[in-house]
Amino acid sequence: MLCPECQGGTMSQSPTRIIGITGGIGSGKSTVSNYLADVYKLPVLDADIYARLAVQTGSPILSQIVARYGSDILLPSSTLNRRSLGEIVFSSPTERQWLEQQIHPYVRRCLETELKSISQQCSTAVLVVPLLFEAGMTDLVTEIWVVYCSPTQQLERLMERDGLTLEQAQARINSQMPIQEKCDRATVVLDNSSTLEALLTQVDKAYDITTVCFPR
Chain residues binding ligand ATP by CB under 6 A are: 23, 25-31, 130, 157, 161, 192, 195-196, 199
Q: In this complex, which beta carbon is closest to ligand ATP, that of residue 66 or of residue 183?
A: 183
Distance (Å, whole) CA 182 – CA 169 = 19
CA 82 to each of CA 37, 46, 123: distance values in angstroms, whole numbers, following the listed order: 28, 18, 36
Least distance CB 210 / ligand ATP (angstroms) = 26
Least distance CB 170 / ligand ATP (angstroms) = 14
Q: In this complex, which beta carbon is closest to ligand ATP, that of residue 74 or of residue 169?
A: 169
Going by C-beta distance under 8 Å and a sequence separation of 6 or more, which residues neighbour residue 15?
115, 118, 119, 122, 123, 124, 125, 142
Q: In this complex, which beta carbon is closest to ligand ATP, that of residue 9 or of residue 26?
A: 26
Q: In this complex, which beta carbon is closest to ligand ATP, that of residue 74 or of residue 173?
A: 173
Least distance CB 169 / ligand ATP (angstroms) = 10
Least distance CB 33 / ligand ATP (angstroms) = 8
The C-alpha R_g of the chain, in whole angstroms, comes to: 18
Q: In this complex, which beta carbon is closest to ligand ATP, that of residue 15 or of residue 26?
A: 26
Shortest-Cβ-distance residue relative to ligand ATP:
30
What is the sign, positive or negative, of the torsion defined by CA atoms of 70, 76, 77, 82?
negative
Least distance CB 86 / ligand ATP (angstroms) = 12
Distance (Å, whole) CA 101 – CA 48 = 15
